[in-house]
Structure 1
Amino acid sequence: MTTVQVRQSDPVADERRRWKALAVCLTAGFMTLLDTSIVIVALPSMERGLHAATADLSWVVSGYALTYGLVLVPAGRLGDLRGRRETFITGVALFTLASAACGLAPTGTWLVVFRLLQGMAGGLIAPQGSGLIQQMFKGAERARAFAAFGSVVAVSTAVGPLAGGLLIEASGSWRWVFYVNLPIGAAVIIAALRLLPRHAPRRDPREGFDVPGVLLLGAGALALMLPLVQEQAWSGRGKWALVPLAVLLLATFWAWEGRQLRRRRGPLLDLRLFRVRAFRLGALLSLAYFAGFTSVLFVYTLFLQITMGYSALAAGTAAMPFAVGSALAALAGGRLVGRYGRGLVVRGLSCVALGLVGVIVSVQLVPGRYVGWAAALPLLVAGIGSGLTVAPNTTLTLARVPVRRAGAAGGVLQTGQRIGSAAGIAAVGAVYFARLANHGRASGALQLGFLTSLLFILAALTLAVADMRDGSGTG
């Protein structure tokens, strides 16, 4: 008699594989988010090397953020429908090729074109990460995975200027801020092919890719984000006429998606997600928070370089306490969110607000070149608060989202973050430059800019407190 042996799954090996797969996703996410800020310190070198116009330099930064944000929701839906592993690998390959093209760009115009493509590829990658976390992890493990994800989000934005300064100083060329992605991208593709789980989504045969929904959402998001990302580059108030157009297009998108849902045609965005209070409120909280925290780093590094005469490397180093605090606290936040729920986010946002007040006081007390040292401790406190906010809020926001919609839901969440970042930088930048132009006192301009950022943080805190009062406190 022949004995048939059935191979049993090894739980320990499966767990190790999941965490290795998570590391692949986080590495790609770090690479794409780092590129939102790493180029800032390279702009003067680009201007000299390419004889680039000011408008081109503006688009090198804002164009990436724009196309990144436009692609997120459609990319999340594409991953849900066609497979997150395949979409992820395609995105990383395109991002790596676009990075090489950026490094080889012969003129400012070509650099802008390649940056737009790079942003689209980054937007293709981002929602697959949150979708794969939903797919691979459950319960406490999922909270830990999102903690690591939140740490990457916070740290990658904060260390961008420092990483850019180090690369330029070591290589003597701005092109290496793009070339550094080539070995990373190649390694991620190889590891993804081996480690990421295959997934054949089960879907209704009537479901397809909602092309009208993509066009309506894309046009609406473009009309909303364009005046925000170009606030400094486009003079005059005419650009704000795009905002009512954006509202009209997004309202039409909402009506179209409701129609698709009623006809069971597979909408780009399942509007039933917004019936989940944790998702609805968490997405709004994330938008408000990113408007505050991203603008803090933007105006602070600008102040240190332009006014205080810090080098790119020194300015990046001065922002490091925020990044360190974020990284350490985000890992702890993943373990604590199950116990404290939304209360942990309230504590985190309170720390961020306290840290910002500390920086404002530090600038007042130490107005000279030692301001970077004086603001280090308050920035560390704010960073700890950020780590206790981003990862736990992501976990709570996506906890009750069905796995088959995880990619699209992650895309919505990150689109809100990108819109929040653009709006915050536009608002705080406008306040900072207006104060500087009218009064000429840079420390006062920085303080007013930080107060504006603080208003966004307090708006996020209000939402978190409201959720605790109206719900169970667990999101």
Structure 2
Amino acid sequence: MTSTEPTSSEPLKPTAGDRRRWFALAIVMTAAFMDLVDVTIVNIAIPSIQENEGASDSQIQWITAGYALAFAAGLITGGRLGDIHGRKRLFLIGIGGFTVASALCGFAANPEMLVASRILQGAMAALMVPQVLSIVHATFPAHERGKVFGLFGAVVGLGAVSGPLLGALLTEWNLFGLEWRPIFLINLPVGIAGLILGIRFITESKAPKALKLDLVGVALVVVALLMLLYPLTRGRELDWPLWGYLSMAGSLVVFAALVAYERRKAARDGSPLIELSLFKVKSFAAGIAVQTAFGVVLGIFFLVWTLYLQVGLGWRPLRAGLTGVPFSIAVSLAAGLSVQQLVPRFGRKVLQAGALVMAVGVLLYLWEAERYGLGIASWQMALPLAVMGAGMGLIIAPLTDVILSEVPREHSGSASGLLNTVQQMGNALGLGLVSVVFFGVIDDNLRPTQVGPAFADAFQYALVWVAALMTAIFLLMFALPKRPALRGGGADPEHGTEAEKKPEFAS
């Protein structure tokens, strides 16, 4: 999720007796829930899509990575457009476009159309999602926002648990013979209702002094990411051609050009896409690395885990979805405990403990996968998944606030938006790396009897990478503040909105 650049929001002077704001809240919360579920619902259906549509490994990666890339590239832009043109207007455009893109995904005639539709869906989510907390801040008085943010936490927990299960059920039921397609088509009635009700109940707001949109900065970010991710995703399939290495090296040049341009942009008119002065704050610079690495972990694990369960072990989608329930429950419980009790008392140590606990869970999973082989049962996975979920919960809920705790208040919106953007970019990078750490160790010409063992071995290899990344994250966290002052739920209304604290479990 993201936020807008800190600006002076136009107060709407909401009154306690105005019931319309609660209808508006229900609408934007439903949209946030729809986005979160859509992120988690797709992974469980990936093997079904591959089997029924004949999608290649790289296309499977792009079905998830394309959404994450478009979402990441558009987050800050979407928030800025809401400030300039009106948050209600951008929210309605976003939810309408998201609904249309969902229909295109559901009726995709081939894998190429599905990938393109997923990229459009991610772009529309980037217009819709940043407006959610901006609308809350503009609609609710300060004394009611605590209750509102509590409701958002419940929505996050519900989405984390229900997404994989809903995806499994819709795929398993094969409604009207549509196979995997209902996972996208279910968004249609929800999106249409949100659009109609949003027109009636959401009140328009915008920032009268919004900064200009940095289109060149947006273009440079997208080009750099494509130059890095496209060769990573297609490299194995194309036998790692020379142009792929040149493209990945060239992405570093484009990133350098982005930094130089943003520095000049800030000096010229004070409206860069990325506020480079933020990197002078040591804890924020380290936090960017932590958030990116954490996004890579999520991108790698959830995709290879789904392929391992359904292709390697041959499990049905519903069994795979139910197997993940201990993970989702542990995330929700640990997240609440972390924010409310542990971090205020123990500070940074809680996040570092979370990184180590998650690494232990990964290693425990690796040990069990190796010990039990293809005969492993769902109940045997429950412990490592619960340990991993607990570790993630300790990290994911307070992470953004901890990283932002030493950032100047006037830059909290920009910093939070950037953090959430790099997590999505890390997610897309992780999905691209799946071709190296998972498909890269699988032979292209497997006999049917070799598929299960090959996928199981590749899963174990990927887990080693995940454990190594979690160890690196633990070390990077030493640069975070020891006793952060959590801001809990958003920037001061005088300084705009802070990013929505919604964990993105996968894309």
* Same fold per superposition (TM over 0.5): yes
AA partner of residue 73 (structure 2):
L
Q: Does 1:414 align with 2:448?
A: no
C-alpha deviation, 1:393, in angstroms: 0.5
Task: Please point out which of 337, 349, 362 is paired with 1:356.
Answer: 362
Q: Does 1:127 align with 2:130?
A: yes
C-alpha deviation, 1:142, in angstroms: 6.5
> What is aligned with 1:224?
228
The answer to whether the 8 Å contact 2:43/2:303 transfers is no
The answer to whether the 8 Å contact 2:38/2:163 transfers is yes
- Please list, as runs of the form range in 1=range in 2, the aligned pairs for 1:149-168 lying within 5 A after superposition: 152=156, 160-168=163-171
The answer to whether the 8 Å contact 1:131/1:406 transfers is no
Normalised by the size of structure 1, how large is the TM-score? 0.82
Task: Please point out which of 319, 327, 330 is paired with 2:332.
Answer: 327
How many aligned residue pairs are there?
A: 461
Report the Cα distance in structure 1 between the residues aligned to 2:23 and 2:282, rounded to whole angstroms.
Answer: 32
Task: Please point out which of 14, 25, 30 is paired with 1:27.
Answer: 30
The answer to whether the 8 Å contact 2:288/2:422 transfers is yes
Normalised by the size of structure 2, how large is the TM-score? 0.78
Task: List runs of 5+ in structure 1 lacking aligned partners.
Answer: 1-7
Q: Does 1:213 align with 2:217?
A: yes
> What is aligned with 2:463?
450
Q: 1:292 to 1:54 in 2, by over 3 A?
A: closer
AA partner of residue 303 (structure 1):
Y
1:155-182 Cα offsets, whole Å, 9 max, x none, are: 7577654332211222142221111111
1:400-455 Cα offsets, whole Å, 9 max, x none, are: 66788666544422321122223334445523344454995654433322111011
Q: Does 1:459 align with 2:472?
A: yes
Q: 1:463 to 1:83 in 2, by over 3 A?
A: farther
Task: Please point out which of 267, 274, 280 is paired with 1:275.
Answer: 280
C-alpha deviation, 1:339, in angstroms: 4.0
The answer to whether the 8 Å contact 2:312/2:454 transfers is no
SS of the residue 1:345 aligns to: helix
Task: List runs of 5+ in structure 2 lacking aligned partners.
Answer: 1-12, 445-449, 487-507
Task: Please point out which of 111, 115, 131 is paired with 1:112.
Answer: 115
The answer to whether the 8 Å contact 1:151/1:326 transfers is no
> What is aligned with 1:389?
395
Report the Cα distance in structure 2 between the residues aligned to 1:201 and 1:292, rounded to whole angstroms.
Answer: 36
Q: Does 1:295 align with 2:300?
A: yes
Task: Please point out which of 179, 184, 192 is paired with 2:185.
Answer: 179
Q: 1:116 to 1:236 in 2, by over 3 A?
A: same
Report the Cα distance in structure 1 between the residues aligned to 2:64 and 2:188, rounded to whole angstroms.
Answer: 20
> What is aligned with 1:100?
103
Report the Cα distance in structure 1 between the residues aligned to 2:262 and 2:188, rounded to whole angstroms.
Answer: 39
Report the Cα distance in structure 2 between the residues aligned to 1:157 and 1:377, rounded to whole angstroms.
Answer: 18
1:184-218 Cα offsets, whole Å, 9 max, x none, are: 223433554566564331327xx422222222222
Report the Cα distance in structure 1 between the residues aligned to 2:31 and 2:166, rounded to whole angstroms.
Answer: 16
The alignment-based identity, stated in percent, is 32
Q: 1:251 to 1:197 in 2, by over 3 A?
A: farther
Q: Does 1:236 align with 2:240?
A: yes
The answer to whether the 8 Å contact 2:135/2:205 transfers is no
> What is aligned with 1:87?
90
| Cα RMSD (Å) | 3.7
- State the structure with bigger RCO (CA 8 A, min sep 6), 1 or 2: 2
C-alpha deviation, 1:94, in angstroms: 0.7
Answer with 36-45 or 174-183: which moved more.
36-45
C-alpha deviation, 1:45, in angstroms: 4.9
Answer with 293-302 or 22-31: which moved more.
22-31
AA partner of residue 77 (structure 1):
R
Task: Please point out which of 316, 321, 324 is paired with 1:316.
Answer: 321
The answer to whether the 8 Å contact 2:87/2:206 transfers is no
